[in-house]
Structure formats: C-alpha cells, structure tokens
Amino acid sequence: MPTRIPTSTRRGFLIGGLTTLTLGTATGAWALDRYVVDHVEVADASAYEASQGSDGTELDTSQAVLTDDSWSADGTTVTVREVMTGSGDATVTYFVADLVLSDATVLRSAFAGDAFGTNIIDETSDIAEQNGAIFAVNGDYYGFRDTGMVIRNGVVWRDSGAREGLAFYRDGRVELYDETATDAQTLVDSGVWNTLSFGPALVADGEVLDGIDDVEVDTNFGNHSIQGDQPRTAIGVVEDNHLLVVVVDGRSTGYSAGATMTELATLMKGLGAVTAYNIDGGGSSTFYFDGEVRNRPSNGGERGTSDILYIKG
C-alpha cells in the first residue's frame, strides 16, 4: 500500500517569522529544530500541486489502494483497483478498471433483457451474468431517451444524432465526435464498433476541458442536470486498445462524497487518459468484476439500466 499523502482540502498553513533566535540552550535547540531544520512533509511539491483538482480538491491516484485484482486471457488483461482518498466528509472512493485489449471488439455491449427499446431495464450484474462477463460497467442508459446514436457490436440500432458522442473503432481507436455531423451507417462503414451517447467529454488531447461543471446532458424531464458532487462513471483512452473505466461512488458521508465533472476529468487525466467521456452516473454507476458488484451504488443497491459495456470471461 503506498504512503498516503494528507488530503484535507481545507487545511491552512500558518507561516510566521522569528525575530530573535537564541541558540546554545535547551530552548535554543528546540527553536533550532522548530524553525531552522528542514522537515519535509511532501517531497515533490510541484507534482503534488499538479495532482490537485482545479477547485483545490485532491482526487488522484496517490492514495490508499484498498484492493488490486487482475484477470487475463487470450492477450486481454483487466486490472481493477479500489482507491480511497481524503478523510471525513471529503472522503472519496473510486474504482478503476485498466483494460488492455487484444482486439477492440473484445469490449462488447449488451442490452437489458436482450431487447432494444426505451424503458427496458435490468441490473448491471444481471446483464453481466447473462452474458458471461468477467468485467462490466453500466452503459449510457440509451433507453432513457429516443435520441442519440446507438451502434453496438457493429450493428446500427438508432440513427438520431443529438449530442457529442464517443465512438469505439474496430482498429482500437476511440474518438469524440459530433453526432449531428454524420450518420450511423457512415460510422459503421468507417469501422465503428460501439458508440456511447451521454457526455460531456471530460478530456481531449490530454487536457481537461473547460466549462464541464455547467453542462446539462438533456433538458427533458428527469435529467435534473448533473452538477455538483455525484456518483460518476467515465471511460478514458490511454492509447489504442488501452482503456480506463472509472466509477466514483458518492452520496455517502464518510465513505464517498462523489466528484464534480472537473474532479472526474482531473482524475482521468491523472490516470493517463488523453481522451475521457462521462456516461450515465448517479444511482446507475455500477462496477462489476469477477462475479460481484465491487462498488456501493448510491441507491443502496443496484439501479436498473438499459445497457452495459463488458468483457466476456
């Protein structure tokens, strides 16, 4: 377990001056140790500073790793970690799946009830088990709306561009794109294997995007916006066929407060993502690995969703 760096975001440092310092006595020796001798608390201050969220909240990988498991088969490796950062009301717990794929098509999608449509839901773990998944995460909840591009496992299910999407190509590339500037068949013809339609984009060209804390995904009833500290699910790209999936738990004082969009983006960048995209979160955020749900969904149990992303065991 790595050394845990102090993480309170409301800590104040008081630096005072000493006008007169008398040495050579017990008092002087104490003063020498207190005011002159170096006492390093954080050795690489610039690196520590860079790891902080833009609003001062620390949310990075230099924390307590609670669990670390892995699975591999046929050239595909899944490494999962549970990480806890902060303390008290500022505690945040998140889960990372580092996916190295032998082939881009190893990452598949599955629908609740093996049926496509709106308002068809099942728990992430049930969909995962029905499809023999070793790893699964909730998808973009395509069935909540009737807009957005839906291409899954190379098949077009919906062609109704509405927002910025994320496209997974058969050759291992993963790219942000404007759904309204193309059509589903063109995407499939260009090699797209899966799409996600939610957002916002968090990281592009290795940089955290501005303004993401003010974004609303939809304006329809039930959206209620997605600002503030919330449970989150995000997908990140390190390089071709190397992905990161992150679930941040939330709404649980002392266990996990959740994360803002900017904190989530900062985390994704810190983990090595050059591109990252937010998908359905809140009570839907579910991280499944090796037969069990590893995180604590904020509803007190799993909430039904319309789809998952998974790797077959």
- Tens-place pLDDT, residues 160-209: 999 999 999 999 999 999 999 999 999 999 999 999 999 999 999 999 99
- Residue with more model confidence, 299 or 172: 172
Alpha carbon separation from 250 to 32, 135, 163, 209 (Å, rounded)? 46, 21, 26, 22
Q: Using pLDDT thresholds of 50, 70 and 90, give the confidence band for residue 37.
A: low
The verdict on 159 and 30 lying in the same domain is no
Would the pTM count as exceeding 0.75? yes
In a domain, 157, yes or no: yes
Residue 112: inside a domain: yes
Same domain, 164 and 39: no
The rounded mean pLDDT for the chain is 84
Under the banding of pLDDT at 50, 70 and 90, the label for residue 64 is confident
Number of structural domains found in the chain: 2
Same domain, 172 and 247: yes
- Asked if residue 85 and residue 33 are part of one domain, the reply reads no
Same domain for 43 and 133, yes or no, is no
pLDDT, position 28:
55
Indicate whether 259 belongs to any domain.
Answer: yes
Residue 3 lies in a domain: no
Question: Is residue 205 domain-shared with residue 266, that is, in the same domain?
Answer: yes
Statement to judge: residues 102 and 181 lie in one domain: yes
Domain co-membership, 182 together with 267: yes
Whether 158 and 37 map to the same domain: the answer is: no
Domain shared by 90 and 44, yes or no: no
Q: Are residues 213 and 250 in the same domain?
A: yes
What is the structure's pLDDT at 218? Answer: 65
Does residue 98 form part of some domain?
yes
| 182 CB neighbour count, 10 Å cutoff | 17
Residues 46 and 91 in one domain: no
31 is in which domain, residue-wise?
21-50
Residue 272 lies in a domain: yes
**Is residue 181 domain-resident?**
yes
Quick check: is 13 in a domain?
Answer: no
